[in-house]
């Protein structure tokens, strides 16, 4: 699938999480697997995309389990908020995204803003994350 972009170095996989109001779209990069999950118990708040951390964590864990079908070995998680982004992310929101990634077992968490990314774009940006294409948020 990736001619010049080798993802084998990312043992545990790369999970791309698109975040919407009370909804996640979770994609396993390089595997063409995606799950769209809507929260039965809302996790968004009128001012914040992640307003109820534990509800968001529960839904994200459920989605990752559906994609992998087994226990995940410390994936890289890329969080991509799409709504309630007026004025950008606050440090509190960045921390919530980092902690959410850590709670689902991420080895590293990255945050990306802007347009949706293809798998090739995500791999390319991971390789150049230190140059600012993605924001690395250590867990």
51-106 pLDDT per residue, tens: 999 999 999 999 998 888 776 678 899 999 999 888 888 899 999 999 999 999 99
**Burial (CB count within 10 angstroms: exposed 0-12, middle 13-18, buried 19+), residue 129:** middle
Residue 7, domain member (yes or no): no
Residue 77, domain member (yes or no): yes
Q: Which domain holds residue 103?
A: 14-137
Residue 8, domain member (yes or no): no
pTM: 0.86
Residue 88, domain member (yes or no): yes
Is residue 108 within 8 Å of residue 79, measured between CB atoms?
no
Half-sphere exposure of 130 (CA within 13 A, CB side): 1
Tell me how many domains the chain contains.
1
Residue 132, domain member (yes or no): yes
Residue 3, domain member (yes or no): no
Q: What is the CATH number of the domain that holds 44?
A: 3.30.420.40
Distance CA(97)–CA(137), nearest Å, equals: 9
């Amino acid at each position: 699938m990736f001619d010049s972009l080798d993802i084998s170095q990312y043992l545990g996989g790369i999970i791309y999480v698109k975040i919407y109001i009370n909804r996640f779209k979770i994609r396993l990069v390089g595997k063409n697997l995606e799950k769209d999950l809507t929260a039965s118990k809302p996790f968004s708040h009128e001012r914040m995309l992640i307003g109820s951390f534990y509800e968001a964590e529960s839904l994200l864990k459920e989605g990752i389990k559906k994609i992998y079908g087994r226990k995940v070995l410390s994936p890289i998680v890329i969080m991509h908020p799409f709504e309630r982004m007026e004025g950008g992310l606050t440090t509190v929101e960045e921390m919530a995204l980092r902690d959410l990634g850590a709670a689902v077992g991420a080895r590293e968490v990255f945050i990306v803003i802007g347009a949706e990314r293809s798998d090739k774009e995500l791999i390319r940006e991971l390789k150049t994350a230190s140059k600012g294409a993605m924001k690395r948020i250590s867990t």
